Amino acid sequence: MKIFNITPNLSFQSPDLVAKFHNASFLTLSPMEDEKLQNNIFVKCEISSEAYVLMMIASEICKDLENEDIGFLSGESSVGEEEIEEIVDFLKDANFIIADENMLNFHKDKENIKALLNLIASNFNLKIIDSAGNKLDFNSANLGELKELDNFDGAVVYKHTKDDEFKGGNYFKIVSKVKDGELVTIKSKNLNITKTFKFDKNLKGTIAFLGVKNLDNYAFEVVKTHKA
């Protein structure tokens, strides 16, 4: 079994689903590497650039989209044309697409993401499910002009409801100027909270994990931090 995975960190988000598909081969498109996911090909993309990558894939299989500016989409998403070819080859005998619910509900370009997922799934005869294993249907989604990407330069948190921890790796610690065990105030458009920062040497990049009680907006957010 082969699965095209478009979730930030599937083994963290849905360990039960990973256990169910323990014999599967994955190709994951994400801004974060899921090192616990076995048999996984990792394609790193910029935060929130999934629609751009899906459009590049769609342009390979749909003549109506072959005039898209692939160079621009590739530059903005940081996914090369060679990687798109690798994804297309993987999809030829894949079985499922796993799509992140938060992306489908709160991404600024969610309608285009749904339309492109539907086009790709239809072309390769794939089933689309969410990280809970529920089957998804995007037949009614309409494709429009792709939206401009937001800027995610700086310290970024990935918000979730799995726990209440605030943890990040070395790069996040440097960018945000926080220390292990330090009580930190985290502020953004949607956040104003205080938590103790935990250093996790296994986490890479400038994205930290931030547990929250409720999540009713996009999971990734640029934050400003300072000692409480």
- The answer for residues whose C-beta is within 8 angstroms of residue 144's C-beta and 6 or more apart is 111, 112, 115
Show contacts of 173-180: CB within 8 Å, 24+ apart: 173/197, 173/199, 175/206, 176/208, 176/223, 176/225, 177/225, 178/225, 178/227
All domains in the chain, ordered by first residue = 2-136 (3.40.228.10), 156-227 (2.40.40.20)
- The stretch 4-33 carries a mean pLDDT of 98
Q: What is the pLDDT of residue 67?
A: 84
Q: 12: helix, coil or strand?
A: helix
The mean pLDDT of the chain is: 97
Q: Are strands 207-211 and 156-160 parallel, antiparallel or unpaired?
A: parallel
Q: What is the pLDDT of residue 204?
A: 87
Q: 155: helix, coil or strand?
A: coil
Sheet (strand 156-160) strand order? 220-222, 156-160, 207-211, 166-168, 192-199, 183-187, 224-227
Q: What is the pLDDT of residue 165?
A: 98
- The stretch 115-140 carries a mean pLDDT of 97
For 56-112, what is each residue's pLDDT tens digit? Answer: 999 999 988 988 999 999 999 999 999 999 999 999 999 999 999 999 999 999 999
The whole model's pTM is what?
0.96
- The stretch 191-196 carries a mean pLDDT of 97
For 44-58, what is each residue's pLDDT tens digit? Answer: 999 999 999 999 999
pLDDT tops 90 at residue 2: yes
Q: Of the candidates 121, 33, 29, 21, which has an alpha carbon nearest to the alpha carbon of residue 84?
A: 29
Q: What is the pLDDT of residue 63?
A: 87
Q: What is the pLDDT of residue 48?
A: 98
Between residues 10 and 205, the one the model is more confident about: 10
